[in-house]
Amino acid sequence: MMTEIAPLRIHLIRHGETKWSLSGRHTGTTDISLTARGEAEANDLAQRLTMIPFSRVLTSPRQRAQRTCELVALDPIPEIAADLVEWDYGVYEGLPTDEILQQRPHWDIFQDGGPKGETPAQISDRADRLIARLRGFSGNVAIFTHGHLGRVLATRWIGLPVSQGRHFLMGTASLSILGHDPHHPEVSVIELWNAMTLRKTEPGSSVAIERWENEGGEIPSQP
């Protein structure tokens, strides 16, 4: 009797908040830790993923991604994947967008890349290499990565050029799912995008109400 192979579903997870993500500074090669809020975001995310059986878990080697992965605490043991590191911003490392635009109006990372860092063509090749590896897996696969690299993965997963990554916002400790159309398995799709746990406090109450939302709509629990 042949065992049916589970379809691939990539759970794309951005790391939790850091001081630089909070202030909008470009964080590529700089190895920075999570804030206390970033750790809380990862713990909240863990509650949403704990019941999902994962076949593989991969993480960027940067400590912000590894710590998020550690706090979410999925099985099996995580593997370090160098291709999951953030875009190399070159001379723009550590700079906020408004400061870059003062120097270079109309600059767009997805169109122009980072001077002395990675070009859009280079990041596209890296994403394609990673996707080729992921397509060799099956079942639920979790990957812990970064904002711009995650947006590039989404565009390349569905066959769009890197320049279209500007249309995919990705919050800290967010969950996105890349998969396939069940009626047309050869068609790559984005099943879920930029979903996150939002903590809200009702007026007059100190109790935080948690909701799992994506663009304003509550998301049912994943199987």
* DSSP sequence for the chain: -PPPPPPPEEEEEE---BHHHHHTB--SS---PBPHHHHHHHHHHHHHHTTSPEEEEEE-SSHHHHHHHHHHT-SS--EE-GGGSPP--GGGTT-BHHHHHHHSTT--HHHH--TTS--HHHHHHHHHHHHHHHTT--SEEEEEE-HHHHHHHHHHHTT--GGGGGG----TT-EEEEEEETTEEEEEEEEEEEEEEEEEE-TT--PEEEEEEETTEE-PPP-
Contact predicate 50/75, CB 8 Å: no
Based on the residue annotation, tell me whether 86 is a catalytic residue of this protein: yes
Catalytic one of 17, 41, 86, 93: 86
Q: Which of 11, 15, 26, 146 is catalytic?
A: 15
CB atoms within 10 A of CB 82: 9
Active-site amino acid positions: 15, 86
